Structure 1
Amino acid sequence: MKKKNSEMKSFLKKNDLICPLQKCKGASYFRVISCWFIFVISMLFLSGCAVKPYVPVPGDFYTQEADWAIINTDSLNIFVHPQSYYGVAQNTASSYFTLYVRVKNKSKKNISLNRSSFSILAGNQQFDYIPLEIILGSLQNYSLLRYYQDPFASPIPANYDKYLQDIQQQYLELVNSYFSFGELLPGGSKEGYLFYDKKIEQYNSFELDVWGTKIKFVRK
């Protein structure tokens, strides 16, 4: 009995040192190896295809904090960075390149935020932000195409009322999340998205003009 126990212990110790893959025999071993190989290749491919975010390059007239560029003037604090749109209207917003902007009035008087700014220069081409009316129009076109692209479809789908409610919710969300120019009250702040041509994402860098201050963003 003692001899059998000692033989069993010897067997276990010997097998504990064997790699689990080495315990697989024949086709089973090659299946495990193949699965691991495919997994590793897939992860390397996905990491290579992942879109790298834009971050600001340090400059003389603005500071950098994480992926934010911050401009401090006597009267304004301006924060800006590229940020994807998140919300119920994401399907529509994903057709555009988006910036998130936050402006705070530090002064004791009203400040008018000039609309003729926030242009982007990428690949020697200028991109101005797209007016809200066009963004809302693209939402309307998307809603029409979704339900009426089939000429033989029912003129009034069964769930059309709910769909209209969803579109209205997206419409209001876009209006409220779009950056609003105009008067900024003392101590007040405004924030929201600006929308641009999706073509900007083809470039590894771009320059943003914020009321005369040039901010450079690069992919990292």
Structure 2
Amino acid sequence: MGSSLFAPFFSLWLADLAVKNRAIIISADYRLLPTLRGAIDPLQDLEDFWQWTRKDLDAVLERRAPGHSVDLGKLMITGGSAGGYFGLQVALSHPDEVSVLAIQYPYVDVKDKVFTEGPGENDPTVLRWPKEQIPEEGEGLEWVEDARMKMVSKAGFERSAFNISLCTYGQFYSKVVDPLGLDVVELEPLRRIEAGAKLPKKM
């Protein structure tokens, strides 16, 4: 959900920090879930973006902002919710090149029961969403099948209720994150860490 320029999802503290440290903000758009292959697709987009910053960013800055350069040795990755998940995943892939990882409420335990079974009968709704505004299971499943066929990198809050529906009925992980049923470690930050992946030194 969201995009790099969607104002409600942009952290103002990040802009203040960039000004204070004379830093630049490089914000990537990526395919939003659901996609045909699930989280593998945006993870590939972000790895491509990472490689682009190494190969082409200097040339882009030279063309568009002559005299400016970027020190990739001083790099902070940040993101919230799904962006926190993807930021963490990128940092796990390149821990020695990330100076600081600053993520907020990240999606870390992708197989938590909320995403695989749904909240319990006595648990609050996901995000405490009003029950009467949560689409029925069939509506959520119909939406996810339609949405995965459209490549989208920008969205607002209009997807929220459907994602909450998928969580409510225990379908989020199987329909959104891993629709192919691959069950690969690359989709799960906790499994990657348990398998030996390193985190950046500062978090």
TM range (shorter): under 0.3
Bigger Rg, which one? 1
TM-score normalised to the size of structure 1?
0.24
Of structures 1 and 2, the one with the larger relative CO (CA 8 A, separation 6+) is 2
TM-score normalised to the size of structure 2?
0.25
Q: Which has the higher helix share?
A: 2
